[in-house]
């Protein structure tokens, strides 16, 4: 079907000759943002439209002056930018993540942004919206990627902590979304011990709690204020840190730790080996191959557009189902940072 009011540009995807942009990578007049991860939500725009959670996370990350003006909306709240009708639908990726549903010229186009279909107790689940065109990511858009139920990975983590009670566990997690999801899933499994955190995780965890998500007892993973030497104090303890900290001097203060990583990329054993990971946990905040195909079936679009990731395989799969598909190949959305 012909849609001449959506185009790819240097900034990303522009709507109606630059009236607004979806997750633009350079400053623009009007930006509609799917979620607050840094590769999709950048500061410096004149006006931002997003969910209230995404706005608050951007404030926390970039400061109060991250844009000239912002407007926050609830899910399924209709709004207009000039003559174009929009609303946000839950995407299930992280707190505040949203699909952008656009109705214009008797056509409905849904930009899914980043999304997942597995259960996440820290955000609303993905809501399939029947659309003429479905714009999807393909971060894990290859048949090899089949993520296990995240609960099984949480159980592996708990059993490892119990088995190696004389060592601490340091798990690499992304600071927005992954950290809070793992904490909440541990709590839901009845694991109520104090969880220790790298300093870069603290602010976002506090923000999640402001939105009513109880994460239990959390403390900074410090050493100088502890009554015992780090080796003794952190025995049997769980520490969460950004992936970069696992190979940094920061992690060396904890003698003989078990290093873990929570990521969809842990499916690839070579990646875990390259990073020196002892405990790979396959927990992803993106849809795997099977969930992408399931989502396309539920949305029932006439066309599928793929923003980034393994585009060719997904396009081929769509065409086999007689669904038109094409790659947008948006530069700037990092498909390998699901950690």
pLDDT, residue 267, reads 94
124 lies in some domain: yes
- Six-digit token pair at 6? 């959506």
Q: Which range is least confidently modeled, 41-45, 229-233, 291-295?
A: 229-233
pLDDT band (50, 70, 90) for residue 336: very low
CATH of residue 237 = 3.40.50
Residues 136 and 185 in one domain: no
- Let me know if residue 338 belongs to a domain: no
pLDDT per residue as tens digits for the range 69-116 = 999 999 999 999 999 999 999 999 999 999 999 999 999 999 999 999
Co-location of 32 and 154 in the same domain: no
pLDDT of residue 224: 78
User: In this structure, what CATH number is given to the domain that contains residue 11?
Assistant: 3.60.15.10
User: What separation in angstroms does the CA of 109 have from each of 22, 121, 302?
Assistant: 12, 28, 10
Same domain, 123 and 184: no
pLDDT score recorded for residue 338 = 47
* Length in residues, the chain: 339
Structural domain range at position 214: 150-281
Structure tokens at 225: 């204020």
Please report how the helices 311-320 and 289-299 are oriented relative to each other, as an axis angle in degrees rounded to 10: 50
Q: Are residues 245 and 309 in the same domain?
A: no
Last residue of a domain, one of 244, 262, 281: 281
Q: What is the pLDDT of residue 225?
A: 75
> Average pLDDT over the chain, rounded to whole?
94
Do residue 271 and residue 309 come from a single domain? no
Q: State yes or no: pLDDT of 335 exceeds 90.
A: no
- Tell whether 318 is covered by a domain: yes
Task: Specify if 334 maps to a domain.
Answer: no
**Residue 332 pLDDT > 70:** no
Average pLDDT of the segment spanning 206-222: 97
Burial state string for 50-74 with b = 16 or more CB within 10 A and e = fewer than 16: bbebbbbbbbbbbeeebbeebebbe
Same domain, 231 and 276: yes
pTM higher than 0.85 for the full model?
yes
Question: Residues 122-177: pLDDT tens digits?
Answer: 999 999 999 999 999 999 999 999 999 999 999 999 999 999 999 999 999 999 99
Query: Is the pLDDT score of 337 beyond 70?
Result: no
Within a domain: residue 239? Answer: yes
Domain count, the chain: 2
Q: How far is CA 99 from CA 14, 87, 116, in A?
A: 16, 8, 11
pLDDT digits (tens, 9 = 90+) for 178-199: 999 999 999 999 999 999 999 9
| Pick from 29-33, 160-164, 244-248: least confident | 244-248
pLDDT classification of 2: cutoffs 50, 70, 90 = confident
Instruction: Assess if residue 248 is contained within a domain.
Output: yes
- Whether residues 37 and 125 share a domain: the answer is yes
pLDDT digits (tens, 9 = 90+) for 52-66: 999 999 999 999 999
| Domain shared by 311 and 271, yes or no | no
Per residue in 254-277, pLDDT (tens digit) is 878 999 999 999 999 888 888 899
Same domain for 157 and 131, yes or no, is: no
Cα atoms found within 13 Å of the Cα of residue 268, Cβ hemisphere only = 13
Task: Give the CA distances from residue 155 to residues 152, 186, 282, in Å, rounded to whole numbers and listed in that order.
Answer: 5, 8, 12
Report percent pLDDT > 90 for the chain: 86
Across residues 30-34, what is the average pLDDT?
98
Whether 54 and 109 share a structural domain: yes
Task: Assess if residue 339 is contained within a domain.
Answer: no
Cα–Cα distance measured from residue 169 to residue 215, given in angstroms and rounded to the nearest whole number: 18
Q: Is residue 231 a contact partner of residue 255, using CB atoms and an 8 Å limit?
A: yes
- Residue 222 and residue 308 share a domain: no
Please indicate, yes or no, if residue 169 is contained in any of the structural domains: yes
Same domain, 187 and 200: yes
């Amino acid at each position: 079907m012909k849609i001449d009011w959506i185009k790819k540009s240097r900034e990303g995807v522009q709507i109606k000759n630059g009236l607004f942009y979806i997750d633009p990578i350079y400053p623009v007049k009007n930006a509609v943002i799917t979620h607050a991860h840094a590769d999709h939500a950048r500061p410096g725009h004149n006006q931002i439209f997003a969910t209230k959670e995404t706005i608050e996370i951007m404030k926390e990350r970039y400061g109060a002056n991250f844009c000239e003006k912002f407007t926050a909306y609830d899910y399924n709240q209709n709004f207009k930018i000039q003559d174009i009708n929009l609303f946000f639908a839950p995407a299930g990726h992280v707190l505040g993540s949203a699909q952008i549903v656009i109705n214009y010229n008797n056509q409905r186009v849904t930009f899914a942004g980043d999304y997942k279909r597995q259960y996440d107790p820290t955000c609303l689940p993905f809501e399939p919206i029947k659309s003429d065109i479905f714009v999807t990511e393909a971060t894990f858009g290859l048949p090899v990627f089949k993520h296990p139920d995240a609960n099984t990975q949480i159980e592996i983590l708990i059993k490892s902590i119990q088995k190696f009670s004389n060592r601490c566990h340091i798990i690499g997690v992304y600071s927005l979304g992954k950290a809070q999801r793992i904490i909440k899933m541990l709590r839901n499994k009845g694991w109520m011990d104090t969880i220790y955190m790298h300093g870069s995780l603290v602010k976002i965890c506090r923000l999640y709690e402001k939105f009513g998500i109880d994460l239990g007892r959390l403390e900074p993973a410090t050493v100088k204020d502890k009554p015992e030497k780090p080796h003794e104090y952190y025995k049997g303890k769980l520490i969460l840190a950004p992936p970069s900290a696992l190979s940094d001097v920061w992690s060396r203060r904890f003698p003989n730790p078990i290093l873990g990583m929570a990521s969809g990329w842990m499916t690839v054993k070579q990646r875990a080996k390259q990073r020196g990971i002892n405990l790979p946990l396959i927990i992803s905040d993106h849809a795997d191959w099977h969930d992408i195909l399931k989502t396309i079936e539920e949305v029932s679009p006439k066309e599928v557009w793929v923003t980034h990731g393994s585009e060719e395989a997904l396009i081929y799969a769509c065409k086999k189902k007689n669904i038109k598909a094409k790659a947008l190949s948006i530069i700037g959305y990092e498909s390998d940072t699901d950690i």
